[in-house]
Amino acid sequence: MRISDVAISIPLKTGADQRIAFHIEQQHEPDKDLPLRMFQGYYRMSDRLRVPVTSLAILTGNIKPVNAYITSCYGTELNFKFGVYHVASADAEELKRDGRVFAVVVLAAKRMLDAGDNPRERGKYSLELLNLTRERGCGAGKMRDIQKFIYRILRIGDKNIDPKVREVWKMQLIPIDEAVMEIRIRDAVEEGMERGVEKGKFEVARKMLARKMAVSDIIDLTGLDEIDILTLS
């Protein structure tokens, strides 16, 4: 569960500015207490900031959307309604047409739900999203952050992903200096395997860990299991 409170000034159609607060909560797993927390967050911000507050629950998992907290006690009743954005119900085609960068982030979350544990689907969707990031034409730094998010959420480092898909991602994400280092490491792995020494792969894995390389990349390059690599750290 993650909550983010932001107070901003927005221009109205009349030309005047109005200060409002946004209460946003993201939920991935089913939680019966979400409606209560939404009300508590709304009341806390309203009481502290003394400005109009709007509340939004962003549901990123396959969970049933609920948009109200209703309770009563001996004649006192409360019916608190809040906004809900249900990623699983989002229209993928509409998100692809949306020119905003954030639409790609939302689509990535939806594709993660659509693909589930199917590596073929995850690989296919990752290339779709990769192309969309290029089309958006945002700054290099922002585009790289979004691409890394897509890479992680769709688990492209998984050894079950099509190697051709992983190669596309490596060409896109790895800076040239890291690419040169990767070639040298691959050569070292091949040399060790030609000598028939399994120890060579572990030694290379140790060097990669020392260089702070991601475990998923080490798995791709050495063929070692994750548990073997983690025992080296």
Residues 25/38, Cβ–Cβ less than 8 Å: yes
* Six-digit token string for 123: 């690989």
Beta bridge partners of 24: 4, 56
Max Cα–Cα distance, the chain, nearest Å: 82
Best CA proximity match to 24, nearest among 40, 6, 9: 6
CA 134 – CA 194 distance, rounded (Å): 40
CA 186 – CA 165 distance, rounded (Å): 18
pLDDT of the chain, 233 residues: tens digit per residue: 444 555 566 676 777 777 788 888 989 999 999 999 999 999 998 998 888 899 999 999 888 999 999 999 999 999 999 999 999 999 999 999 998 888 999 999 999 999 999 999 999 999 999 888 888 776 767 787 888 889 889 988 888 999 888 888 877 765 544 544 555 566 666 665 555 556 677 777 788 878 777 777 777 777 777 766 766 65
